[in-house]
């Protein structure tokens, strides 16, 4: 499939992973939610690094906890949620810090775009106000100057007639354009890190490709690292340098995009790839699926979260969580049956 869709990031342009410096370092991040009968774990000790300029994709099914990872980094968890672990950004701790401290970072050095552009923009405020307030709050720019920069950025995200349109309200834009506005808003202060939570899921297929291309282009130009969360392997294939495969709140496998797509080691990854219909294959009968349903909040169980649906499970899988074993090059797998990660 990767061969059928050219990756936007050709290997010549992508920064070799090990060479660039790490901008975000997440260690043992866990997220839990208080439900009527106790705490449920949505994210279970997830660790990963984000290096300057790279695009990392976090892929998983609904309920795998992938959005919660991003939300906890931005201190946007719901009031019944709590997180633990560490997330270091530019030498500063992000988790469980007072909001005031984080406000300096959020929106300027690290920003986020969300899934539904329809509801994520304030319907009662003009787009210009929503854009300029980022600049006035973080960079102390004057109103006129801020608007000038905002218009520039809107042009950069290819909103036609930006000068006129900037005074519009969000409902006067189409879905795809609203997402562009969101992207513009997030990149106004040239952040080091952009977190993207399913940015294309709510959009038409044709628009999706445009938005992804836009993100890739801007990230490259502004040297912004991107962590994108999605359930769509196609998005991963187009955009990412590295992939983290998440299931039941745990990382099942991670590696470069070539490694994951051409040499998947975890049964879940294999299942995911197999169940994605390919354009370059003739249609044969039924779509392949992974049997069973994802079980959310399964981070509290002792064994591997994927065990109930795993085609190669053994007794040990139910009792003991397989550790995420990392090889030298950053490749890692969490599975008892494939303890040999690549060397």
Partner 1 sequence: MLKYAIYRTLKSLPTLLSLAIITFVMMRLAPGGPFSSNRRVPPEVRANVEHAFHLDEPIWQQFGRWIWGVLHFDFGPSFKYRDHTVAELIHLGFPVSLEVGAWAMVISTLVGLALGIAGALRRNGPIDYTAGAIAMIGLAIPIYVIGPILQIVFGVDLGWLPIAEWRGGWEYKVMPIITLTLPNIAYVSRLMRGSMIETIRTNYVRTARAKGIGERRTILKHAMKGAIMPVIAYLGPATAITVTGSIVVETVFQIPGIGRYFVDSAISRDYPMVMGVTVLYGGIIVFANLATDIVRGILDPKVSYE
Partner 2 sequence: MSDLALPPSRGVPGEPPEEMPAGLSPFRASLRRFSNNHLALISIVILVLIALGCFFGPMFYPADTDLGDIDNISAPIDLLSAHPFGTDDQGRDLLYRVLVGGQVSLSLGFFGAFVSVLVSIAYGSTAGYLGGRVDDVMMRAVDILLALPFIFLAILIKIVLQDSGLNILGIAFDGPIASVFVAVVVTLWLTPAVIARGQAVGLRNREFIEAARAGGMSQFQIITQHIMPNSINVVIVYSSLLVLEAILTESFLSFLGLGVQPPDASWGSLIDEGAGRIDTDPRLLILPGVFLAAVLFCLNYITDGLRDAFDPNER
The residues of the shown chain that bind partner 2, judged by CB under 8 A, are 33, 35-36, 40, 42, 62-63, 67-68, 71, 76, 78, 80-81, 114-116, 119, 197, 293, 295-297
Distance (Å, rounded) from C-alpha 61 to C-alpha 66?
A: 8
Phi, psi of 341 (to 5 degrees): -75, 165
Decide which of partner 1, partner 2, none touches 36; Cβ closer than 5 to 8 Å per partner kind: partner 2
Decide which of partner 2, partner 1, none touches 123; Cβ closer than 5 to 8 Å per partner kind: partner 1
Decide which of partner 2, partner 1, none touches 62; Cβ closer than 5 to 8 Å per partner kind: partner 2
**Which is nearer to partner 1, 134 or 227 (by Cβ)?**
134
Stretch that binds partner 1, among 18-26, 72-80, 225-233, 240-248 (CB under 8 A): 72-80
Distance (Å, rounded) from C-alpha 320 to C-alpha 335?
A: 10
Decide which of partner 2, partner 1, none touches 134; Cβ closer than 5 to 8 Å per partner kind: partner 1
**Which is nearer to partner 2, 229 or 324 (by Cβ)?**
229
Distance (Å, rounded) from C-alpha 87 to C-alpha 50?
A: 11
Burial class of 212 by CB neighbour count within 10 A (0 to 12, 13 to 18, 19+) = buried
Distance (Å, rounded) from C-alpha 53 to C-alpha 193?
A: 9
Please state whether beta strands 242-247 and 55-59 pair in parallel, antiparallel, or not at all (unpaired): parallel
DSSP letter assigned to residue 335:
-
CB 199 → partner 2: shortest distance, Å? 12
Distance (Å, rounded) from C-alpha 325 to C-alpha 334?
A: 6
Number of residues that bind partner 1 (CB under 8 A): 31
137 touches partner 1 (CB under 8 A): yes
103 touches partner 1 (CB under 8 A): yes
Largest CA distance in the chain: 66
DSSP-derived 3-state class of residue 213: helix
Interface residues toward partner 1, by CB under 8 A: 74-76, 99-100, 102-108, 111-112, 114, 116, 119-125, 133-134, 137-138, 169, 171, 182, 185
């Amino acid at each position: 499939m990767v061969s059928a869709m050219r990756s936007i990031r050709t290997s010549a342009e992508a920064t070799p992973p090990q060479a660039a410096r790490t901008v975000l370092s997440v260690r043992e991040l866990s997220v839990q939610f208080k439900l009527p009968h106790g705490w449920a774990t949505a994210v279970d000790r997830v660790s990963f690094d984000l290096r300057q300029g790279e695009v990392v994709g976090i892929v998983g099914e609904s309920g795998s906890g992938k959005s919660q990872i991003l939300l906890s980094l931005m201190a946007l968890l719901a009031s019944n949620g709590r997180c633990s672990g560490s997330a270091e950004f530019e030498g500063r701790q992000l988790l469980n810090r007072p909001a005031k401290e984080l406000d300096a970072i959020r929106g300027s050095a690290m920003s986020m775009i969300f899934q539904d552009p329809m509801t994520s923009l304030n319907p009662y405020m003009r787009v210009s106000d929503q854009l300029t307030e980022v600049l006035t709050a973080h960079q102390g720019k004057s109103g006129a100057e801020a608007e000038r920069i905002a218009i520039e950025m809107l042009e950069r995200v290819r909103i036609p007639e930006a000068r006129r349109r900037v005074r519009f309200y969000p409902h006067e834009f189409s879905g795809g354009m609203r997402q562009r506005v969101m992207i513009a808003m997030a990149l106004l202060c040239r952040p080091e890190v952009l977190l993207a939570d399913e940015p294309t899921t709510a959009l038409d297929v044709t628009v999706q490709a445009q938005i992804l291309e836009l993100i890739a282009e801007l990230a490259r130009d502004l040297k912004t690292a991107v962590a994108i969360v999605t359930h769509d392997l196609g998005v991963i294939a187009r955009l990412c340098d590295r992939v983290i495969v998440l299931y039941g709140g745990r990382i099942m496998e991670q590696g470069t995009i070539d490694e994951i797509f051409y040499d998947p080691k975890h049964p879940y990854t294999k299942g995911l790839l197999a169940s994605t219909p390919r354009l370059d294959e003739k249609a044969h009968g039924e779509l392949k699926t992974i049997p069973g349903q994802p079980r959310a909040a399964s981070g509290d169980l002792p064994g591997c979260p994927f065990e109930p649906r795993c085609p190669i499970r053994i007794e040990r899988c139910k009792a003991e969580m397989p550790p995420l074993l990392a090889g030298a090059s950053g490749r890692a797998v969490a599975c008892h049956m494939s303890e040999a990660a690549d060397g």
